[in-house]
Every structure is written in C-alpha cells, then in structure tokens.
Amino acid sequence: MDQHFFIQNRKKLYETLEDQSLTILFAGEPAHQSSDESYPFYPNRNFYYLTGITEPKVIFVATKFNGEVKEKLFIQRADPWMARWYGETITPNEAQDASGIEDIELLDKLDSFINGQFDSRDYRHLYADLEAKSWEFPAKPANKFAAAAATNYPYLSIHNLYPVLSNFRVVKSPEEIELIREAGKITADGIRNVLANAKPGMKEYQLEAYFNFVLKSRGVTEFAFPTILASGYNGTVLHYSANTGTAADGDLVLLDLGAQYKYYNGDISFTFPVSGKFTKRQKTIYDIVHRCNRAITKKIRPGIPFQELNTFTNSFFAKELQKIGLINKPEELRKYYFHGVSHSLGLDTHDVGNYRDIKLVPGEVVTNEPGLYIPEESIGIRIEDDVLVTDDGHEVLTSGLPRTTEEIEAYMADNNKNLN
C-alpha cells in the first residue's frame, strides 16, 4: 500500500480531534507462547491503518495545538547483536517511506517526549485506541497508558479512538478493494485445488493441505482465520476447525477459509461432494442454500438496511424448509439455521464498524453466507461470497467458482483424476 493511503487516513483522523490534544497509538508486541517462544506478531489493525507500519513496539504520537498537527513515530534502536538472531528492525528511512511521517524518534526518547509535552503545554484531551470487548478483556498498552495518564493528569479528557477508526474502516478505498479482490482470487484458486485432488477416504487435513499449498506458493503467509474443512457431520458444526476427520464416500465437505493478502482478507465458503456427485437429498438442500445466496446478492445495494439481509434470509429459509417438510413452522428454523448471513470484511475478517445498525453505502465489502445444517442427516452446507457495494448496486468479488450442483459435478469430472 502506498504511503498516500495512510497519510489520507491520518488527515481524516486529525479533522475529528479537539485542539490541545495528544494522540497515541501502539503497534503492539508479540504475545508470549511458552519458554522462549512467542506467537507470530500481527500489528494492531488500527495502528496499521494510520501508519502502514507492521513492526512490533512502534508507537505513533500526534499533537494538535492551535489547529496545527505534529506527528512522530517512535521506533526501536538498532541492535546489531539481536539482528544476527532475528533480523534488522525498521530503520528511520524505512519508517518514513512506509508511513509518510517525517519525524522519527527512538523509543528510548518516548518518556522524555511525553513528560516534556505535559510539562510545557496545556493539554486537555488524550486520544487512544481503547478497544475492550468486555470488562475482563486483557488491558492493552493503550489502555494502560490511558489509565496512567488519567491518574497523573486527572484534568485530561480521555477519548476512545476505537469506534472512530472502526467507522472509518467500513468504507474501503479503491486500493483496499483491490487487495480484498486479490485475497478472494487466491482463496478461490486454493478451493479449486482441493476440488481437483479430493477423493473419498482422505483425511480433512489432507484436503486442507491442497488449499495451503496454493496460498504458500503465491507468497501468502497468513490465513484470514483458522481454516474450516469439515466433512459429513462435522459440517453441521459452525466453527469446526480440528480438521482431523475422514471424508467418507457420500459425504459433503464444507470449506470456510480465506487467504490474507497484504493484511486484507478473503472469506469464502464452499460445499462439495467428496465423491464428485451429490445425492438427491444433498442436491435438494444445496439448491435451497444456493438460491438464497443468489437472492441475497441481488438485494445488496446502497440504502438497504444491513439487518434486512438477515430478515430476508430467515424468511426465505423458513418458507423453503416448510415446503420440503423439514420444519412445520417458522419458529423451528433455528434448529437448522442459527447464524447471521453477513459481516463486513477488510483488515479483519469480521471487520469493525457500526455497520449492523445502518444502511449499506458504496465502498462497503460484506459477505453473503447463508447455510443450512441438518445434524441428523450429516448435511452441512454453506455458500459464501464477498460482495462490494457499488454506487448503483453490487459487485461479487469472489465470482468464477463453480456454484450450482451441476457446475461442481462437471468441474470435478473434468479436473479430478482421482475420481475417473
């Protein structure tokens, strides 16, 4: 992503800030795993959205006085010895090139800078990303900093930037849309590789390996979320991700997976018969889900309330399942459909922002993922696309996969040598 993207995001933020304010955001640090191992590091997404920096421990500070904004990045001091073990840390020039921020300081100067600011200027506002999902949510560096600032400088008004930045992220820029599109293309190619190599009797993790191979061969190092590859009854468990079962002859295999491309995510669900042929019953249920998916896509456009997609899905499924005798009344639907049909997509797979209570606007990317789950028949089917809201309608960013039962069977017949 070009630095211009991050510069524009910061300018938009600065317009929302009060005068006499200091803003601080943290990239974060790798979480400790065990012994001398840490979990892989992922930068705080709001920090990345404003700076383009992907390295741990970096801190961003901006001050606003008399309408003038000054911004700084604080980075780690170079350590030649540690560089031999873990590689070089980001240099001032690299930080400038990525972020467009010209004033780069070393982290060991942060405390004196903060102290000097509060000693010499009459700050009235402190802004930080104070995300907290619940009362028990572990305190992040920003929350700890804000708590200390409130104690030491009780006259400060503390402001939470999390909802502000989350709402900024709902509408995607053209650059973001292209990255999501590419993540979807790579994800779809991975699915095709699974279809081309599947056969009855394979372990779920063996099928998963064919997806992983495509991602790694494209230079994709991270997944949008832990891959769900569920066969038979496992497909009726919404977030099953053990992927240790066996895809027996006659089973459906439900995939819910995504590539993460340059920090932006794809998210596709796909269901297919491991034998290459749907049974009559599987086809009946699949066709209901597919028709629902197509109908939802047609509804996605500017001005439609997000919640209307869920309302429509519930109504559609209730009518269809009553027709085939699976339920007797709409109230029984939750036995077979029990999740929302859509979420926002971007830097996070379940992307942030107050999109659930508002109407869709151009530039949003949302998922479309109806599903039916019948445990007593070991049938789990979910079909998911990533859809861009355009000025006059929508664009499916994940088109091109075989989607009807006939298309899936034909694709496997033409491309899967294991079934011929």
Asked if residue 160 and residue 218 are part of one domain, the reply reads no
Residue 356, pLDDT > 80, answer: no
The pLDDT of 34-56, averaged and rounded, is: 95
- Residue of 182, 204, 267, 386 marked active site: 267
- Residue of 15, 36, 68, 122 marked active site: 36
- Predicted confidence at residue 203, as pLDDT, reads 98
- In percent, the amount of the chain with pLDDT more than 70 equals 100
- CATH code at position 214: 3.90.230.10
Catalytic annotation present for 239: yes
Catalytic annotation present for 373: yes
Nearest-angstrom CA–CA distance, 377 and 394: 35
Asked if residue 128 and residue 7 are part of one domain, the reply reads yes
Catalytic annotation present for 343: yes
62-66, 330-334, 354-358: least confident range: 354-358
185-222 CB burial, b ≥16 within 10 A, e <16: bbbbbbbbbbbbbbbbebebebbbbbbbebbeeeebee
Identify the burial level of 124 via C-beta atoms within 10 angstroms of its C-beta, where 0-12 means exposed, 13-18 middle and 19 or more buried: middle
- Residue of 176, 384, 385, 409 marked active site: 384
Catalytic annotation present for 382: yes
Residue 117, pLDDT > 80, answer: yes
Catalytic annotation present for 267: yes
Asked whether 254 and 381 are in contact (CB, 8 A), the reply is yes
CA distance readout (Å), 378 to 37, 151, 191, 199: 40, 57, 22, 18
- Predicted confidence at residue 331, as pLDDT, reads 97
Residue 16, pLDDT > 80, answer: yes
Asked if residue 365 and residue 268 are part of one domain, the reply reads yes
- Residue of 45, 337, 373, 409 marked active site: 373
Nearest-angstrom CA–CA distance, 284 and 293: 15
Boundary of a domain, candidates 168, 190, 224: 168
Catalytic annotation present for 159: no
- Residue of 291, 339, 403, 411 marked active site: 339
Catalytic annotation present for 208: no
Asked if residue 106 and residue 219 are part of one domain, the reply reads no
Would residue 271 be called left, alpha or beta, if left means φ above 0 and alpha means ψ between -120 and 50 degrees?
A: beta
- CATH code at position 26: 3.40.350.10
36-45, 212-221, 265-274, 380-389: least confident range: 36-45
Asked if residue 160 and residue 196 are part of one domain, the reply reads no
Catalytic annotation present for 384: yes
Residue 201, pLDDT > 80, answer: yes
Asked if residue 318 and residue 228 are part of one domain, the reply reads yes
The pLDDT of 351-356, averaged and rounded, is: 85
The pLDDT of 185-195, averaged and rounded, is: 98
Asked if residue 178 and residue 135 are part of one domain, the reply reads no
- In percent, the amount of the chain with pLDDT more than 90 equals 92
- Predicted confidence at residue 90, as pLDDT, reads 96
- pLDDT-derived band at 242 (thresholds 50, 70, 90) equals very high
- Predicted confidence at residue 260, as pLDDT, reads 98
Render 49-109 in DSSP notation, one character per residue: HHH---STT-EEEEEEETTEEEEEEEEPPP-HHHHHHH-PPPPHHHHHHHH----EEEGGG
Domain count for the chain, please give it: 2
Asked if residue 133 and residue 202 are part of one domain, the reply reads no
211: part of which helix (H) or strand (E)? Answer: helix 204-217
Residues 6+ apart with CB under 8 A from 83: 89
- Residue of 218, 301, 343, 403 marked active site: 343
- Predicted confidence at residue 214, as pLDDT, reads 98
Boundary of a domain, candidates 120, 141, 168: 168
38-42, 72-76, 366-370: least confident range: 38-42
- pLDDT-derived band at 273 (thresholds 50, 70, 90) equals very high
- Residue of 32, 121, 239, 356 marked active site: 239
Q: For all residues of the chain together, what is the average pLDDT?
A: 96
Boundary of a domain, candidates 168, 196, 216: 168
- Predicted confidence at residue 134, as pLDDT, reads 79
Greatest extent of the chain over all pairs of C-alpha atoms, in Å: 78
- Residue of 125, 291, 350, 403 marked active site: 350
Render 344-411 in DSSP notation, one character per residue: B-SSSSS--SS-TTSB--TT-EEEE--EEEEGGGTEEEE-BEEEEE-SSSEEETTTTS--SHHHHHHH
For 94, the domain range is 3-168
Q: Which amino acid, 182?
A: E
- Predicted confidence at residue 375, as pLDDT, reads 98
Nearest-angstrom CA–CA distance, 32 and 35: 8
- Predicted confidence at residue 10, as pLDDT, reads 98
- Predicted confidence at residue 334, as pLDDT, reads 97
Asked if residue 354 and residue 412 are part of one domain, the reply reads yes
Catalytic annotation present for 350: yes
- Residue of 256, 348, 364, 386 marked active site: 256
Residue 357, pLDDT > 90, answer: no
Asked if residue 178 and residue 49 are part of one domain, the reply reads no
